[in-house]
Amino acid sequence: MYIQSVTNRSSAVNALLVFVTLLPLYAGSYWYRTQHPYGSLSTPRTDHPSPSGFIRSWLDIHVVQPFNPSPIAAYCNRTEWHSNLVFDLDNANGGIGNVRGNILDFLLYAIEAGASIILPGMATRSQDNLADVWASRAPFDLLFDEDWFLIALSQTCPQMAIYKPEKGQEMAKALPGNYWPRSRRVDLDGTNTKKAYREHLDEWLKSKAEFVPDNLTLVNVERTLWEVDTRSVPRGFRRNFGQLLRVNPTIRRLAAVIVQNLVSRYLILRFDAGQAIPRRAFYGAHLRTEHDARVAGWLDAPYANYSSQTRAYMNQALANNLNVIYVASGNTTDLAAFKAKAAAHAPPLNVTSKMELLPPSDLHVLKQLSWDQQALVDYEVLQRSSVFSGLVKSSFSYNIAMTRNQWL
């Protein structure tokens, strides 16, 4: 009977009834919310926590996280492991962008071959001639977090031994020549499968007179760069694989100090150090106009020179209402010119960089670092800028962009 009477009422009367019923509910919750705003826990958040608290919170966060070992573990578990096969990556080289690519390629090749590895090192740049990226050699921890890498790999691929021979110590004589792995870019060629790669490796091994299957076999693997189509591996593997390489924590700490100083110097309010990518805080730009980029011809491309880069960065900062620009550049002359250009702009923009944002003791630490290590500080700061731009030719910029894209 009741239902009958409701359906018989005009719709205007029904709407009025609903409105009158909901009104006290709305008023009540409005009142409650104004008394108990969202985000206020028992201790209200301060805009500027202590510097050390800020630094700790900032360091706790990685742009891509959390690390989930199980997809990589499942992939490693599908491999047939050969405890006497050891891969050595002898010639990773360049800055963070390239070395990271070299090492991740190498790791995937090792996993798919069921091989153990020698902890990869890398060639380092000459301090006098930055275009000479082969000047000397350095260990893994020059750029990366070694403890984290060893822990993460032991969680994911316990079958893979990681050797770290001391200088002058030789674990075995490597087979002659470098092994150049077959591409795993299935996106380019559907036959670039894991199986095809394994066959290619087996053929190479068998072609060596020195190869004794039961003996310890050391293979010098030639470096490759982005020869793996990560879309062809399981999604979870792809998301977690890159996380195996984290930046050396000593260097990363300097990045945290820089961001803390940036925030207090430019009074960036409501900056939450616990957020991977804070909104409306600062603009990050990679001004890639160093001598080596010029030598490589990158700056001759359309809209790639100093003036085009700086104009683009300023326009984009303005379009995003960000008036503080953190600039990474190994070219101090161009950096100073950019700063002057931005200050003269109407409305003025503040351009700053790592050297200005470190207290003397940390500046001293920074200056002891090599050119590529110093660039890592920028790498960490830029990854967590509100908006980022860089030069498309640069693997450094490209890695930052890809990481941020993964975060999105």
Ligand X SMILES: *[C@@H]1O[C@H](CO)[C@@H](O)[C@H](O)[C@H]1NC(C)=O
Neighbouring C-beta atoms of residue 228, cutoff 10 Å: 26
- Is residue 140 a contact residue for ligand X (CB under 6 A)? no
Q: Following DSSP, what letter does each residue of 238-285 receive, concatenated?
A: HHHHGGG--B-HHHHHHHHHHHHHHHHHTT-TT--TTSSS-TTS-EEE
| Biggest CA-to-CA distance, the chain | 95
Q: How far is the CB of 130 from ligand X (least distance, A)?
A: 7
The yes or no reply on residue 57 touching ligand X (CB under 6 A) is: no
Using the minimum distance from each CB to ligand X, give the nearer residue, 17 or 295: 295
Tokens, residue 276: 């991977």
Judged by CB under 6 A, the residue of 98, 289, 310, 399 near ligand X is 289
Q: Which of residues 333, 355, 364, 406 is near ligand X by CB under 6 A?
A: 333
Angle between helices 332-344 and 306-319 (to 10 degrees): 40
- Contact letters for ligand X, residues 339-378 (x by CB under 6 A): ----x----x-x----------------------------
Please report how close the Cβ of residue 78 comes to ligand X at its closest, in angstroms.
8
- Coil, helix or strand at residue 225: coil
Identify the residue among 59, 63, 73, 161 touching ligand X (CB under 6 A).
Answer: 73
C-alpha to C-alpha distance for 191 and 35, rounded to whole angstroms: 64
In a 10 Å sphere around its CB, with 0-12 CB exposed, 13-18 middle and 19+ buried, how is residue 362 labelled?
Answer: middle
Residue (of 402, 57, 388, 45) closest to 253 by Cα position: 57
**Nearest to ligand X of 79, 224 (CB atom):** 79
Whole-number Cα distances in Å, 392 to 82, 270, 299, 397, 400: 40, 32, 11, 7, 11
Shortest distance, position 270 Cβ to ligand X, whole Å: 18
17 is an interface residue for ligand X by CB under 6 A:
no
Q: Which of 210, 295, 355, 392 binds ligand X (CB under 6 A)?
A: 210
Could you say which of 303, 340, 355, 367 contacts ligand X (CB under 6 A)?
Answer: 303
Positions that interact with ligand X (CB under 6 A): 73-74, 77, 210, 212, 215, 265-266, 289-291, 302-303, 305-308, 331, 333-334, 343, 348, 350
